[in-house]
Structure 1
């Protein structure tokens, strides 16, 4: 009986085990389902929270952007209202790019306005083309005002490009300026002219001397172009093309054979000939010597007709011993024979100037002879020291308007004549200067006479004991003597008639 019942018991046990296993599976699946529900719920909740935070961040970013945009536009418009030039706003929006253009209300106050506007339009279009249009961009086009002095204002096109930087949460800024500035005379409301800058033709001729020297200095061998340089046609106030800068000027040159059609000069190199009201004063303030002290007495010693190999070296020794600088008005025919002596004069700090080539009375010869006398001396001195003489003393002091126009140099006359050419006596020379010297005068002497050289040491001692400070003529005249004018002292300047 036990054997017969055993199979049934076995079947029951299996059923129980299967039921138990099934129950465990059900429990496991239930737990797993619950876990999955919790996980999915957690993920969903996290996603929902993150999504909500992203939405909040987007809202905050948008709020911050709007706030910064409003602030930027207020800043731009306030800045434009503060400009001296009243302007009106033209706004355009193309996708993410907003353009604000500011134009003068009265366009006639800005000379060459259309040219500035055209360049401004080009700048704006180039900025649009080169900008990344997926982010907000604001382009502000306007005229930048550059005040050089009370008399000069410059107008140039400018654009400010503002790009929204999402990571920084703010605008980045870049400014671009146009290439062309219109500089305006505030009195006339017209573009600057050379007349404004240099005032007169005499100053323009003085500038031409600087141009000529610079052309020679920039050439590897100035002697190859010296004739072309000396024959450079005159620069003129009304026909010379130029480009103005606050601290320099670019001048177009007349047709010439030097290979140069323009040249740039720093105002500090022509400081004595520019109108300081029309340049950046900082560019010239240290270029001119200090004005002469009104409480002191000044005098200049000048020597004509040399150099002479017998007398000039002895004179140079005396001047060196006394610590005096003088001006030597040399004859070209003597320069070519004694170049080493000319070089010594220059190296020892004296001024080398021109006294013509062969000492004719220039008012009694034809124009070509005057030109030859001047240019041949210029070439001789340049060959000796590498510099063209800037000052000229006409033989016998004879000059008129036509001759001065050919010479194209300041005419340095004299106000005290030592009469050494007449007396040939050292004591007479000393007495003559003692009796006739006065403040702010130029003394005429000749370094070709032994008696003159004999007198110089005592002349210097007497002048100093009388309170004089001895200067070369260029220093006495403040380094601003100009062609077509003649000078007897720093306060005695006369147009050549």
Structure 2
């Protein structure tokens, strides 16, 4: 084995040499790093000095700021002068924030002015609190007039915030609208009411039907809550909270199983029950069918007391073959027994309506019995087709105002009686309708009689030969029949007495 014969002194010399080289490199790296830091720091300092936000005190000597401030104030004041709502200005300045508040000069023109002013003041205070104290700010509070149409004017609190941007050297703008708008009936100069919009108890009852169906449709299990929905207290013209919009309305709801405290209905969904003068016309455009052609003849075929598993299917086959849609006023007790048949009636485009549950004369029973007859049928039909019936035909046509109020649906009577219930003869039925039919009328028949079904094809042919177009009763009445009213045809509407 060879030995390492290098003396120890030589190894130490090499080690010292390496240390000196490393020290030089470390010193050079340190100097380089410090130099880079100094250079970057200098660049940043120069940039920061050039872009340093000016304090408000520095703006006093900034002629460009002063010119743009003057131009902004001129723009704000000119804009207010051009508003239809004449106003007076109140100005105050605290620190960097200048506040301009505009209040209507004619305070008596806005009955809710104090409430609007309170909301405007609250909005101004909140905006000022959230604003920066280190820059120039203009807060402009005013009440904006919104002209919905000739009958409705709205007044809404608005706050415009103008903030001076030091980098762009100009004003940025942000607008915040108040949550509440006060609407005024231009006829009465009073706050807008549900009476203005819906006009009558009959119309608000019709809206109640829409609310019930909407709540059921939005529920995951309508059948589980239908009793509570049908027994929910009615909304009223004078006791219901509401929020008005030009294209819809939000109505406060009584306690109900859905937990909803209000419901919003587009006007197009309730177009037949509102005063069009108080809504945006575009909101209900096309919502109702075109009026019937005055140069044409119309008639409606209606069938009572079904459905009947022996006769109703055959009737549906005939109607389908002839391309006719009719209205079926069904008994709840028969609906429960023949749900599939009820579903077929609806699926084939016919109207499913109510004729009570067991066919009593409703004017001769107590109020609770009337309510039960109506609600049990509503539930049966809803269970069958997922929709509540909207129209009602009282057995024997017997109804008075008290009964009509409990029913809460349009009362569809008839003007042409086929007397099929009396004759039980197909030819007699055909002859009777042919001799008594006239324009815009409703024909009464019963789909539980075989002879009626035997006569229907010929009845349809005779009516068409005489120039009639056959419509379901809802379409004949323009989809705007309302509770507390009876309908014998499209031109024969009578309040229930």
Considering the TM-score relative to the shorter chain, is it more than 0.5?
yes
- CA–CA separation in structure 1 for the residues paired with 2:122 and 2:375: 51
Aligned residues: 441
Is the CA contact 1:391–1:411 (under 8 Å) kept in the aligned structure 2? yes
Alignment check: 8 A CA contact 2:146 2:154 kept? yes
User: Tell me, what secondary structure is at the counterpart of 2:140?
Assistant: strand
Is 1:355 the equivalent of 2:355?
A: yes
Equivalent in the alignment of 1:413: 413
The range that moved more, 409-418 or 362-371, is 362-371
C-alpha displacement of 1:151: 1.0
Q: Which residue of 2 aligns with 1:246?
A: 246
Contact 1:326 1:473 (8 Å CA) reproduced: yes
Aligned to 1:275: 275
Give distance in 2, aligned partners of 1:475 and 1:185: 33
| Mean Cα deviation higher: 234-243 or 120-129 | 120-129
Alignment correspondent of 1:343: 343
Query: Are 1:198 and 2:203 counterparts?
Result: no
- Larger deviation, residues 333-342 vs 229-238: 229-238
Question: C-alpha displacement at 1:488, in angstroms?
Answer: 0.7
**Correspondences of 1:329-408 after superposition (within 5 Å):** 329-408=329-408
Could you say which residue in structure 2 is the equivalent of 1:88? 88
- Asked whether 1:222 is paired with 2:226, we answer no
Find the residue that maps to 1:89 and give its secondary structure.
strand
For 1:169 and 1:415, locate their aligned partners in 2 and report how far apart those are by CA, in whole Å. Answer: 79
Instruction: Supply the distance in 1 between the matched residues of 2:87 and 2:60 (Cα, whole angstroms).
Output: 35
Q: Tell me if the contact between 1:477 and 1:489 (Cα under 8 Å) persists in the aligned partners.
A: yes
Higher alpha-carbon deviation: 166-175 or 451-460: 166-175
Deviation digits for residues 231-279 of structure 1, max 9, x if unmatched? 1222111111222222222222234455333222221111111111112
Aligned to 1:212: 212
Q: Deviations over 1:181-237 (max 9, x none)?
A: 111111122211110110000001000011111121122111111111111222111
Distance 2:477 2:234 in 1: 24
Structure 1 stretches lacking a partner, 5+ long: 1-49, 51-57
Q: Does the 8 Å contact 2:356/2:374 carry over to 1?
A: yes
Give the stretch that moved more between structures: 450-459 or 411-420: 450-459
C-alpha separation in 2, matches of 1:66 and 1:312 = 86
CA 1:63 to 1:473, structure 2 compared with 1: closer, same or farther past 3 Å?
A: same
Show the counterpart of 1:109: 109
1:53-95 CA-to-partner distances (Å, cap 9, x unmatched) read xxxxx99994433333232222211221222221100011123
Instruction: Compute the displacement of 1:170 (Å).
Output: 2.7
Work out whether residues 304 and 445 of structure 1, in 8 Å CA contact, stay in contact via their aligned partners in 2.
yes
Give the match's secondary structure for 2:101. strand
- Please identify, of 350-359 and 237-246, the stretch whose mean Cα deviation from structure 2 is larger: 237-246
| Structure 2 CA distance for aligned equivalents of residues 302 and 478 of structure 1 | 16
Aligned to 2:24: none
TM-score in terms of structure 1 length: 0.85
Between 380-389 and 134-143, report the one with greater CA deviation. 134-143
1:31 is matched with which residue?
none
The normalised TM-score by structure 2 is 0.85
Residue 312 (1) aligns with residue 312 (2): yes
Give the aligned partner of residue 302 of structure 1.
Answer: 302
Deviation at 1:332, TM superposition (A): 0.7
Mapping of 1:146-225 within 5 angstroms? 146-225=146-225
Structure showing greater Rg: 1
Q: Quick check: 137-146 or 73-82, which moved more?
A: 73-82
| Alignment check: 8 A CA contact 1:228 1:258 kept | no
Q: How far apart, CA to CA, are the structure 1 residues paired with 2:90 and 2:304?
A: 71
- Indicate if the aligned counterparts of 2:59 and 2:65 stay in contact, CA closer than 8 A: no
User: Does the residue aligned with 2:337 lie in a helix, a strand or coil?
Assistant: coil
Structure 2 SS opposite 1:295? coil
Q: Aligned equivalents of 2:374 and 2:295: distance in 1? A: 38
Contact kept, 8 Å, 1:326 with 1:351, in 2: the verdict is yes
Larger CA deviation: 466-475 vs 123-132:
123-132
CA distance in 2, matches of 1:263, 1:176: 26
Paired with 2:258 and 2:72, the residues of 1 have a C-alpha distance of 55
Tell me how far apart the structure 1 counterparts of residues 238 and 128 of structure 2 sit (CA, whole Å): 41
SS in 2 for 1:239: coil
RMSD (Å) for aligned C-alpha atoms: 1.9
Q: Is the 8 A contact 1:378 1:388 kept in 2?
A: yes
Alignment of 1:61-80 (within 5 A): 62-80=62-80
* Structure 1 residues 165-185: Cα deviation after superposition (integer angstroms, max 9, x where no partner): 344343211100111111111
CA distance in 1, matches of 2:167, 2:371: 75
